[in-house]
Amino acid sequence: MPKLQACEIADVFWVDVQELFNPRRYQILSYPLEQTLRVHPRVLVIVKRLLGDMLFDCIYLPRPHHPLPDDKYLPRRDVHDFVLWGLTLRAVTHLFAAAGSSLPVRPIAQHFEKSKILGGFVLYCTRKPLTVVVGATAFLSSIVVVKLVYTAL
């Protein structure tokens, strides 16, 4: 049985369901890569220069005992400031979709700050490494076969 770890839960509080449908609450969360890549400082420097930080769609949840600001754009928040994002947002989104009341989230919820195309390729490679290896192997094998056939002619 999985063991609950206190570091996995930031906070627990009630949120009015209507707030999840409030379009003003849908924002972009900039997730700094320093924490994720801290054991690989050289990789961090390259990734930061080429791709920038990770950007996620998120919902700024109402802070307990704080009213929603009147201005059009909400001030930026960090990961630990009552923000619903990542796997938790995906789970909530699927739950509402299964109930027949889809939340207004975008289908592409994660990308890099500087390069969406290169960042998308990097994300694909990290999510499906076996597919990438098999595809690259098949591509290189086909080049070798074509070269062998061409030189045999």
- 97 and 143 in a single domain? The answer is no
20 lies in the same domain as 42: yes
Mean pLDDT for the stretch of residues 109-124: 68
Question: Do both 125 and 105 map to the same domain?
Answer: no
The total of structural domains in the chain comes to 2
Question: How many of the other CB atoms lie within 10 Å of CB of 84?
Answer: 19
Return the higher-pLDDT residue of 105 and 61.
61
What backbone phi and psi angles, to 5 degrees, belong to 66? -130, 125
100 and 121 fall within a common domain? no
Residue keyed to tokens 């994300």: 123
**Euclidean distance between CA atoms 9 and 7, whole angstroms:** 6
Burial bucket for residue 115 (CB in 10 Å: 0-12, 13-18, 19+): middle
- 99: pLDDT strictly greater than 90: yes
20 in any annotated domain: yes
CB 67 within 8 A of CB 35: no
Average pLDDT over all residues of the chain: 78
pLDDT reading at 38 higher than 90: no
Do 84 and 37 lie in one domain? The reply is: yes
**Which of the two residues, 56 and 120, has the higher pLDDT score?**
56
Domain that holds residue 151: 116-153
Same-domain pairing of 120 and 136: yes
- Helices assigned H by DSSP within 1-153: 41-50, 86-98, 116-127, 129-152
State yes or no: pLDDT of 96 exceeds 70. yes
Residue 92 lies in a domain: yes
Q: Are residues 82 and 122 both part of a single domain?
A: no
Structural domain contains residue 1: no
Q: Highest-confidence range of 107-111, 132-136, 138-142, by mean pLDDT?
A: 138-142
Most confident range, picked from 41-55, 112-126, 133-147: 133-147
Question: Which tens digits make up the pLDDT trace of 70-92?
Answer: 556 666 776 667 888 888 888 89
On the question of pLDDT at 95 being above 80, the answer is yes
* % the chain with pLDDT above 70: 78
Q: For residues 36 and 104, state if they share a domain.
A: yes
